[in-house]
A and B are shown apart, each in its own frame.
Chain A
Amino acid sequence: MQSITVSAHPSVQYLLRIGDTCLILAQRLAEWCGHAPIVEEDIALTNMALDLVGQARAVLTRAGQLEGELGGTPHDEDQLAFLRDERDFRNCTLVELPRGDFAATMLRNLAVAIFLELLWQRLERSSDAELAAIAGKAVKEARYHREHAADWVVRLGDGTEESAARLKAALELLWPYFAEIFEADAVDAEADASRLGPRWADLRDDWRARFAAVLAPAGLSLPAERAFRSTGKMGRHSEHLGYVLAEMQHLQRSFPGGVW
């Protein structure tokens, strides 16, 4: 099945960054189905995946409509999810990394939920009425996800030697990838100018304060900044995204238009 080409307009790109970050994290969380350490967490992780898929569907739908409004070819949510190639995905590299152990999953969920809660709060005032409406719903879900992840991060960090060591290792592994979220570029500047949404760089200080506030009772603190920058939201991904897409897109690529 032929891949689609998506508009390079900064507003479309901004929406894809949000939708794709939700979509790819949902894929990673769904991998836990049947594998979580206890059944309650199996259910929790898949419930959160479902919320994120719902948010992704809404944002990708809006992105595809906007392509049409800007004079290009419109696309629907399914075309955007299933018929784009890896380099056209705009999720942060962080969410495509393998799920790791339960500690790594919880730490990543915490980082993303704090970020998304801050982002959705600001997007409730977006100049785009549809995006503002999506944010009004999603912000409540992100808050609930953040509480869930914060509880676990503290519990693991303040738990046994084994759980604390796992959480510490997760922070060392994932920390270099958090910085990308807040890297400023032209897409962000344009979104800010058109009042579509905030520059993600402007959320950095709040994010750091909130993340550090959970790490402290978990016995951890924010590591030092590193020079490394991942570049997923510019479309240059790690070696891991291709495998996620191969699984996610296989049916639509092999049986175009197939439905349940």
Chain B
Amino acid sequence: MVDAAFGTPLATPPLRLAGSSRIEHAWAVLATVLDPEVPVVSVVDLGIVRDVREEGDALVVIVTPTYSGCPATEVIEASIGAALDGAGLGPTRVRMQRAPAWTSDWISDAAKAKLHGYGIVPPERVDIAHGAPLRFVPRALAPLACPRCDSNDTERLAAFGATACKALWRCRACGEPFEHFKTI
């Protein structure tokens, strides 16, 4: 680093973090990297960052994608790299790890509260949602409480929504549409 006024090296270059303090710092930075499509929860909140470790010189972030075709995956990889490099923690490598497959159970309780506040009903626990035997005919879905007015007088409009991870519902009481973060 060069001092702009005098063109000479600064006396104290920024402290180079290493080992556990570097990893701890990295987790703190990752907690500020938001999902591009649901920008109230971070990549740590969503449970897609599985591990942060040092390999030689590099900081390696292990990421598990939510859906096979999630178009946000590449943006997330780039934002993670940029955030960590920007915090001076680089060089950074983001590595995709498919197994074990991501489940909505990995979304933290704090993040579920943030989703609710944002107007998205968070996913239920997977064992509850998929505990029922295989169903082949249209079925009555358990109603979700409207995130705006708390009424249970709601219905699912569509199994799919604006992003791969959400379904579309509406509330008959307040008339507002809302989204449900799918339970997988």
Known: A213-B136, A217-B137. A44 touches B158 (CB 8 A): yes
Known: A40-B160, A47-B164. A137 touches B101 (CB 8 A): yes
| A16-75 residues at the B interface, CB under 8 angstroms | 40-41, 43-44, 47-48, 50-55, 57-58
Known: A54-B68, A147-B135. A40 touches B168 (CB 8 A): yes
Known: A40-B160, A43-B158. A136 touches B99 (CB 8 A): yes
B69 within 8 A of A: yes
A236 within 8 A of B: no
B178 within 8 A of A: no
B160 touches A136 (CB 8 A): no
A129–chain B nearest beta-carbon distance, Å: 7
B131–chain A nearest beta-carbon distance, Å: 14
A133 touches B101 (CB 8 A): yes
A141 touches B67 (CB 8 A): yes
A204 within 8 A of B: no
| B29-74 residues at the A interface, CB under 8 angstroms | 65, 67-71
- Give the A interface residue count (CB, 8 A): 35
A51 touches B67 (CB 8 A): yes
> Which chain A residues lie closer than 8 Å to B68 at the CB level?
51, 54-55, 57-58, 134, 137-138, 141
Chain B interface: which size bin? 20 to 34
> Which chain A residues lie closer than 8 Å to B102 at the CB level?
137
B70 touches A44 (CB 8 A): no
B159 within 8 A of A: yes
A24–chain B nearest beta-carbon distance, Å: 15
> Which chain A residues lie closer than 8 Å to B101 at the CB level?
133, 136-137, 140
| Bound-complex Cα distance A144 to B167 (A) | 11
B83 within 8 A of A: no
A136 touches B69 (CB 8 A): no
Known: A136-B100, A137-B101. A51 touches B69 (CB 8 A): yes
Q: Which residue of B lies closest to A130 (CB)?
A: B98
Known: A130-B98, A132-B99, A136-B99. A43 touches B69 (CB 8 A): no
| Bound-complex Cα distance A140 to B138 (A) | 19
A234–chain B nearest beta-carbon distance, Å: 26
B18 within 8 A of A: no
Partner of A44, one of B71, B97, B160: B160
B4–chain A nearest beta-carbon distance, Å: 37
Q: Which residue of A lies closest to B70 (CB)?
A: A54
| Bound-complex Cα distance A44 to B138 (A) | 17
B residues lining the A interface (CB < 8 Å): 65, 67-71, 97-102, 134-138, 157-162, 164, 168, 182, 184
Chosen A-B contacts, 23 in total, with CB atoms closer than 8 Å, are A40-B160, A41-B158, A43-B160, A44-B160, A47-B160, A50-B71, A51-B67, A54-B67, A55-B68, A58-B68, A130-B98, A133-B97, A133-B99, A133-B101, A134-B98, A137-B67, A138-B68, A140-B101, A144-B182, A144-B184, A147-B135, A148-B160, A154-B137
* New contact pairs (17) apart from A50-B164, A129-B99, A138-B68, CB-CB < 8 Å: A40-B158, A47-B160, A51-B67, A54-B70, A55-B68, A55-B69, A57-B69, A134-B98, A137-B67, A137-B101, A140-B101, A140-B184, A144-B159, A147-B135, A151-B138, A154-B138, A155-B138
